[in-house]
């Protein structure tokens, strides 16, 4: 009787648990990030560590300018010391107690100021070289920012493209599944073969496999975009964008001229050439004299008549240094500077030629994508019509299973080709902006 009561009590408790389940703590889902392309690029520029590092390098280059300007000011140092000397100079006269000319304990403290009076413009060249270094750091910063923006564009539209591709595959899978269900019914009715069923199932599995590959690529793109923007990896991305295209006919000559004028690579090459020119100018002044002055005030002992008394002392002087022979180092530096200047000039010319080629290639890719858009539009219309006819014929027993599967696959391929052409056109538009040095946002 007790066992029966316990069993009934357990059943009642279980029923109560099912009727009133225990309360579970709600897990808050992360809010999705609704982002346009402009907002995504802004997040990348605010949070990306590579861009922050480049910005700090610009600050460091600015500090180097101030370092070089410090040569125009006197350098003031303070020093203090103690020296014990034994023996010391002394002299005795006729058996009298020797006279000591310097103490054993020597104390000294002084403040010294040193300044360069004349160096024939070397300090000015060093400051100018530091300025070109800052300009180069600024152009490098712009290159990194532009490349990050372009990478963001690639990821942004890449995610949209992959999501659309997945939807196309899901549409194909749904159509194939419908065909599979219909073929199965026909097989059960004896009007279709086992081969027809297996063929349809194989096409479904192939489409699902392709969808899995696209989903993997999509996840990789999303993780990379999360890293660039600084968003948490589990934050859903709600991207607002489209592949709407507005064909234009830009002029190649105008674009090349704009690219040579605006591209940070050209500006950076120009700064490197200017730096090499300044370095050669500095090397030409290496054989000239440098005039420096110094003045000091301090206290020390060692003065007669009381060598132990601490007294004030002042010293001042002018010093000129003229290199007479440096082991052919000066001539070698001049040869090196001249060679570096020629190399910098050639690199600048090469950069300009590469940019012109890049603009021409991008324009050709843009024209190709524009033509593909027109071609794929007609292909999609034809494929849709063919698929509709094939479905109707198949349901009426006129077309074979293979005909239906081929038309469904052709429709999916045509839609993917149209999507790819639109994606290429949009991306090539941004590639052209990158090639001409146009700032995205």
Q: Among residues of the chain, what percentage have pLDDT more than 90?
A: 59
For 436, residues 6+ apart whose C-beta sits below 8 A from its C-beta are: 255, 258, 259, 262, 263, 359
Residue 129 lies in a domain: yes
Closest to 223 measured CA to CA, from 236, 240, 211, 212:
236
- The CATH number of the domain where 222 resides is what? 1.20.1600.10
Determine which of 81-90, 91-100, 234-243, 416-425 has the lowest per-residue pLDDT on average.
91-100
Of 259 and 16, more confident: 259
CA angle in degrees (0–180, nearest 5) for 37-43-49: 130
183, 427 in Cβ contact below 8 A?
no
Which H helix or E strand runs over 157? helix 122-189
pLDDT at residue 95, as a whole number? 67
CA distance 328 to 325: 7
* CA contacts within 13 A on the Cβ side of 182: 17
Residue 23 lies in a domain: no
Residue 250 pLDDT > 80: no
pLDDT at residue 217, as a whole number? 96
> Which residue is listed with tokens 């940019």?
355
End-to-end CA distance of the chain: 82
Highest mean pLDDT among 183-197, 231-245, 269-283, 299-313: 269-283
Residue 189 lies in a domain: yes
Mean pLDDT score, 64-82: 95
For residue 29, how far is the Cα from the chain centroid? 31
Highest mean pLDDT among 9-13, 15-19, 36-40, 396-400: 36-40
Residue 216 lies in a domain: yes
365, 424 in Cβ contact below 8 A?
yes
Residue 347 pLDDT > 60: yes
Name the band, by pLDDT with cuts 50, 70 and 90, for residue 27.
very low
Mean pLDDT score, 411-434: 91
Residue 366 pLDDT > 60: yes
Coil, strand or helix at 253: helix
Query: Largest alpha-carbon pair distance within the chain?
Result: 147
Name the band, by pLDDT with cuts 50, 70 and 90, for residue 12.
very low
CA distances for 303 relative to 79, 88, 91, 108, 307, angstroms:
20, 14, 16, 12, 5
> Which residue is listed with tokens 């999507």?
419
Residue 296 lies in a domain: no
Mean pLDDT for all residues in the chain: 87
76, 111 in Cβ contact below 8 A?
yes
pLDDT at residue 23, as a whole number? 44
Torsion over CA of 390, 396, 401 and 404, rounded to 10 degrees? 10
Residue 113 lies in a domain: no
Residues making up the chain, counted from first to last:
441
pLDDT at residue 396, as a whole number? 84
Residue 88 lies in a domain: no
Which H helix or E strand runs over 292? strand 290-300
Q: How many independent structural domains does the chain possess?
A: 1
Residue 57 pLDDT > 90: yes
Q: Which domain holds residue 336?
A: 31-73+119-287+323-436
Name the band, by pLDDT with cuts 50, 70 and 90, for residue 414.
very high
Residue 209 pLDDT > 80: yes
Residues 158-170: tens digit of each pLDDT: 999 999 999 999 9
Residue 42 lies in a domain: yes
pLDDT at residue 24, as a whole number? 41
Residue 184 pLDDT > 50: yes
Provide φ and ψ at 31, rounded to 5°: -65, 140
Coil, strand or helix at 92: coil
Residue 126 pLDDT > 90: yes
Name the band, by pLDDT with cuts 50, 70 and 90, for residue 17.
very low
CA distance 63 to 60: 5
């Amino acid at each position: 009787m007790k066992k029966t009561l316990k069993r009934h009590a357990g059943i009642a408790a279980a029923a109560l648990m099912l009727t009133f389940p225990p309360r579970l703590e709600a897990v808050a889902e992360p809010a999705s990030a609704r982002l346009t392309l402009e907002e995504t690029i802004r997040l990348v520029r605010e949070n990306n560590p590579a861009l922050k590092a480049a910005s700090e390098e610009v600050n460091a280059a600015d500090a180097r300018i101030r370092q070089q300007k410090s040569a125009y000011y006197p350098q003031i140092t303070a020093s203090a010391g103690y020296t014990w000397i034994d023996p010391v100079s002394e002299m005795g006269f006729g058996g009298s107690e020797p006279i000591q000319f310097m103490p054993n304990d020597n104390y000294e403290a002084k403040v010294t100021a040193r300044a360069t009076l004349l160096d024939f413009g070397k300090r000015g060249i060093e400051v100018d070289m530091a300025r070109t270094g800052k300009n180069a750091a600024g152009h490098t910063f712009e290159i990194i920012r532009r490349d990050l923006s372009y990478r963001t564009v690639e990821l942004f539209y890449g995610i949209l493209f992959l999501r659309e591709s997945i939807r196309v595959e899901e549409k194909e899978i749904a159509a194939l599944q419908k065909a599979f269900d219909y073929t199965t019914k026909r097989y059960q009715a004896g009007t279709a073969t086992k081969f027809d069923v297996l063929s349809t199932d194989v096409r479904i599995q192939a489409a699902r496999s392709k969808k899995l590959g696209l989903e993997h690529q999509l996840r990789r793109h999303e993780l990379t975009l999360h890293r660039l923007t600084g968003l948490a990896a589990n934050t859903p991305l709600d991207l607002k964008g489209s592949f709407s295209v507005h064909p234009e006919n830009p002029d190649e000559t105008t674009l090349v001229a704009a690219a040579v004028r605006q591209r940070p690579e050209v500006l950076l090459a120009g700064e490197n050439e200017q730096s090499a020119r300044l370095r050669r100018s500095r090397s030409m002044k290496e054989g000239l004299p440098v005039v420096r002055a110094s003045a000091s005030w301090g206290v020390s002992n060692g003065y007669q008549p009381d060598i132990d008394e601490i007294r004030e002392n002042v010293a001042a002087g002018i010093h000129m240094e003229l290199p007479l022979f440096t082991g052919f180092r000066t001539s070698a530096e001049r040869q090196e500077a001249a060679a570096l200047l020629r190399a910098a000039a050639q690199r600048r010319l090469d950069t300009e030629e590469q940019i012109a080629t890049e603009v021409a290639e991008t324009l050709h890719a843009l024209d190709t994508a524009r033509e593909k858009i027109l071609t794929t539009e007609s292909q999609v219309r034809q494929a849709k019509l063919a698929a509709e006819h094939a479905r109707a014929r198949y349901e009426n027993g006129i077309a074979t299973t293979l005909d239906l599967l081929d038309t469904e696959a052709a429709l999916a391929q045509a839609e993917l080709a149209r999507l790819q052409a639109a994606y290429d056109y949009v991306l090539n538009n941004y590639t052209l902006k990158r090639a001409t040095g146009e700032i995205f946002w």
